[in-house]
Structure 1
């Protein structure tokens, strides 16, 4: 950043000359260089931005000559004129001061003799240091954003880096003025994003707003929200950040889109406690989530055919997310949507405060389920839900629980389809799913069932299925015989054989509980569709 005339006057070497501003324009003019000259027609040798030092010889030939001299300097674009009062110019006349005022040329009188060489050395030392600093800053900017491009940094990190370099808030928005990423500095995110769409639409296209994307296909803007940042540096950083973001999208271009990536990033920030409630609400609203709502954490769990081709798997995941988003649109509700490893989708859904939230949630989930089931390769889909909450942070903390419920619900063997499941719907199966990988739990299931499983294998029988249905029906033999299509005596003989093989009493409550628990563990260990 160049020194201003005011900065130069504040330097000790100038203050020693007892400077007095006797006329002219703004002292904020930048000083590109300091030039000592006693020649009246020096103007044609100047390029602009110089601070001229003189002992006053060009001003010693009367007010008319002085006026021509000042006019020529102003025309050359000098930053200002410093005249040392003495033999040539004992004082600056009011007429000369008035001329400087009319020309907008700062005119400074030094009342004490000053060594001009000390002034030039002091000022040039600072100017050269500033120029070197600018070169170093430009090199740092280039290297930093090149490194971000090489390692394919996320768009949020690119925006954060730009904000850190400028020590100012930076916002990335799309063409609909929705905020894709934000790094707030010296202000809260909520303060920066307050009434964002209206604020953004009124911003001029000047140095603090840089278009992002190749020229024919602009897809967003990078906006600096701060005052007092050097214009050249701001422009440099924003342009390099915009180039990096453009490259990022070219490399990472897929069907998810930047808006979806931004939602995933926001949910990650919420889950990991990086935001307070006010900032979270501001960012969520900027991404389209309805305000003045209640929120529900959801997890969409999908059973799908295994894909050996990673690209085919990515296409299916993209299709699932598109289906979820389309279902939300059909239900006319807004949500933050995040992709998870595998084919799971996490959501924070905003529901209207009026009416029964479960009714609105059931309608939204039914719409999403209907759309996801149409995706190629999807064999089954369930939705797990957490508790309704008034805050985004509490809702985000409920996402792991919703994911657990969905995972367990997917393993349920039931013909009853629900729009969504809560923990009360998975009950014992939910507890077992938490501990199913424990060797002791697996050993328990093997001890309970291994004899019957071995018998079925050796005799090509299906007594395990009979036992499962017997336990599912809570021991109702009449209903079981009807479902199996066999007579009651035949059923009694099968059950007696099962009891002999397992060496248990099937009429004993604890035996039934142990066997049913072992079968649930086997279901959870084998996964849906197996066992």
Structure 2
């Protein structure tokens, strides 16, 4: 497939003009080359007309001045790059010479004969008017393209806007990819996402980059232009063909101007497009933003992350320094996982793996990279269930206090302390802890005692006084005295299993609230620093 100058007049269009149609034109050589553009019209009877030609002309002649060797004439016409030759029969030739037909056919130049006389001056006037009109349209189209992409660049448009503008102006699907053949930004136009991105990496690798800036390449006939960044090739813009319309010169212009606008956008925007593409794809999965799960699977695969026949798990991390962790994760899991900053939810990772339980060594590796707790959702076998895995990871992340050591935590690790930590901001839980412990807390505050600490050890020891005394570093007599004092303040019997259960919940809830306040204070100080 080649690029046609869709705004120029072609040989076929010239033959359809009434002024030439009256001459009963017949194509006798290279009928398949009638899409060649006609730049101008030239009437000549010279034996050697090339001195007056620059290429792209439609040559009109009666053959009066043809040289003896007609093959030489065809060779010279082909060498100068004329669009086609129109020979009017009657003045010198009643039938077109076979040598002339063979000469033009061999060299790929259309030869047309007119079997009825026409006024060449009428042909030139009509055709020149048509060519000039076409050139004006071309200039106007070029100005429109220039104005569109200049305006986008001036207002700081991102790559997505630039690509969508290219699709709107041409009707062709356009994809921005990096050098590793990841489809980062795309707009499909009237085509389906699956049709455009299915097996993207394999198809892209089979499509070589053009030696020049822009060209049609590969078996599929993609129009490809290079995208540069600071003097080096960074990626490619690809325009996919349609069966209905060939690529035109305007499409080349649009793609090249889009590539320039993309380069400017990359210079002015802080977020790397690879990072944004992975984050967007991750949110597509978590928030069901694609029209179909097949589209989601294709989208993920186009970023180099395998999704077919895989199991999935969502991992959330809330590190102190997200930027450093994101950089580490992207370097480690390039092509095997989706990584993105999910805001308040933390750093998200969608792991894909083949064998059940295959997520655990990966999650443990993430914990080592993060130096922080790693919260893992349920292992699922379908993309449609990934949101459930994310919800479970969210639940785990909300339940695991930040002071716990770096490790992998799942829903199985959420016990009573973790549950109450996740509910620490619930007013009902706060009111319950206050109601159960207010008198004891007031006594400690007033008298400088630590009866709450003694109660905590007693409850943690399941009411075993020997264990409590050892953990509290108290004599048994001192412990008994403190326990009686706690009973008097709280107005209950600590030997009661029900009371101990109520107090255990209350103390655990109070500890969770204090841990939450401490974590919030640390985060605030970290932000201030």
Q: What TM-score range do you get, normalising by the shorter chain?
A: 0.7 to 0.9
| Corresponding residue number in structure 2 for 1:221 | 236
Q: Do 2:241 and 2:247's aligned partners in 1 also have CA atoms closer than 8 Å?
A: no
Asked if residue 404 in structure 1 is aligned to residue 395 in structure 2, the reply is yes
Matched pairs, number: 497
| Corresponding residue number in structure 2 for 1:295 | 312
Distance (Å, rounded) in 1 between the aligned partners of 2:260 and 2:44? 49
| Corresponding residue number in structure 1 for 2:281 | 266
| Corresponding residue number in structure 2 for 1:336 | 338
CA deviation after TM superposition for structure 1 residue 156, in Å: 5.0
Name the CA shift for 1:3/1:328 in 2 (closer, same or farther; >3 Å).
closer
Distance (Å, rounded) in 2 between the aligned partners of 1:151 and 1:396? 36
CA deviation after TM superposition for structure 1 residue 11, in Å: 5.1
| Corresponding residue number in structure 2 for 1:351 | 353
Asked if residue 194 in structure 1 is aligned to residue 194 in structure 2, the reply is no
| Corresponding residue number in structure 1 for 2:37 | 31
Name the CA shift for 1:157/1:38 in 2 (closer, same or farther; >3 Å).
closer
| Corresponding residue number in structure 2 for 1:321 | 326
Q: Alpha-carbon deviations, 1:396-441, whole Å to 9, x = none?
A: 5532431332232135x76xx5732223422566766776556555
Question: Residue 414 of structure 2 aligns to a residue in which SS?
Answer: helix
Q: Do 2:399 and 2:418's aligned partners in 1 also have CA atoms closer than 8 Å?
A: yes
Name the CA shift for 1:418/1:35 in 2 (closer, same or farther; >3 Å).
closer
| Corresponding residue number in structure 1 for 2:369 | 371
Name the CA shift for 1:452/1:234 in 2 (closer, same or farther; >3 Å).
farther
CA deviation after TM superposition for structure 1 residue 387, in Å: 1.3
Q: Do 1:294 and 1:389's aligned partners in 2 also have CA atoms closer than 8 Å?
A: yes
Q: Do 1:24 and 1:105's aligned partners in 2 also have CA atoms closer than 8 Å?
A: yes
Q: Do 1:442 and 1:521's aligned partners in 2 also have CA atoms closer than 8 Å?
A: no
Unpaired runs of 5+ in structure 1?
A: 305-315, 374-380
Distance (Å, rounded) in 2 between the aligned partners of 1:497 and 1:124? 111
Name the CA shift for 1:244/1:495 in 2 (closer, same or farther; >3 Å).
farther
Q: Alpha-carbon deviations, 1:272-324, whole Å to 9, x = none?
A: 4344444444444454435643221111122x3xxxxxxxxxxx322222444
| Corresponding residue number in structure 1 for 2:51 | 44
Q: Do 1:423 and 1:430's aligned partners in 2 also have CA atoms closer than 8 Å?
A: no
| TM-score after normalising by structure 2 | 0.75
Q: Do 2:401 and 2:516's aligned partners in 1 also have CA atoms closer than 8 Å?
A: no
Unpaired runs of 5+ in structure 2?
A: 1-5, 216-222, 523-529
Residues 18-417 of structure 1 aligned to structure 2 (within 5 Å): 18-24=24-30, 26-35=32-41, 37=43, 40=46, 43-52=50-59, 54=60, 58-60=62-64, 64=68, 73-83=77-87, 92-94=96-98, 96-111=100-115, 127-128=131-132, 130-150=134-154, 152-184=156-188, 186=191, 188-189=193-194, 192-194=197-199, 196-197=201-202, 199-200=204-205, 203-206=208-211, 207=215, 208-214=223-229, 217-226=232-241, 229-230=246-247, 232-252=249-269, 259-275=274-290, 276-290=292-306, 292-302=309-319, 304=320, 316-324=321-329, 334-341=336-343, 344-353=346-355, 357=357, 360-373=358-371, 381-395=372-386, 398-411=389-402
Q: Do 1:271 and 1:396's aligned partners in 2 also have CA atoms closer than 8 Å?
A: yes
Q: CA RMSD in A?
A: 4.4
Asked if residue 422 in structure 1 is aligned to residue 410 in structure 2, the reply is yes
CA deviation after TM superposition for structure 1 residue 346, in Å: 0.7
Name the CA shift for 1:328/1:80 in 2 (closer, same or farther; >3 Å).
closer
| Corresponding residue number in structure 2 for 1:485 | 473
Q: Do 1:60 and 1:66's aligned partners in 2 also have CA atoms closer than 8 Å?
A: no
Distance (Å, rounded) in 2 between the aligned partners of 1:143 and 1:462? 75
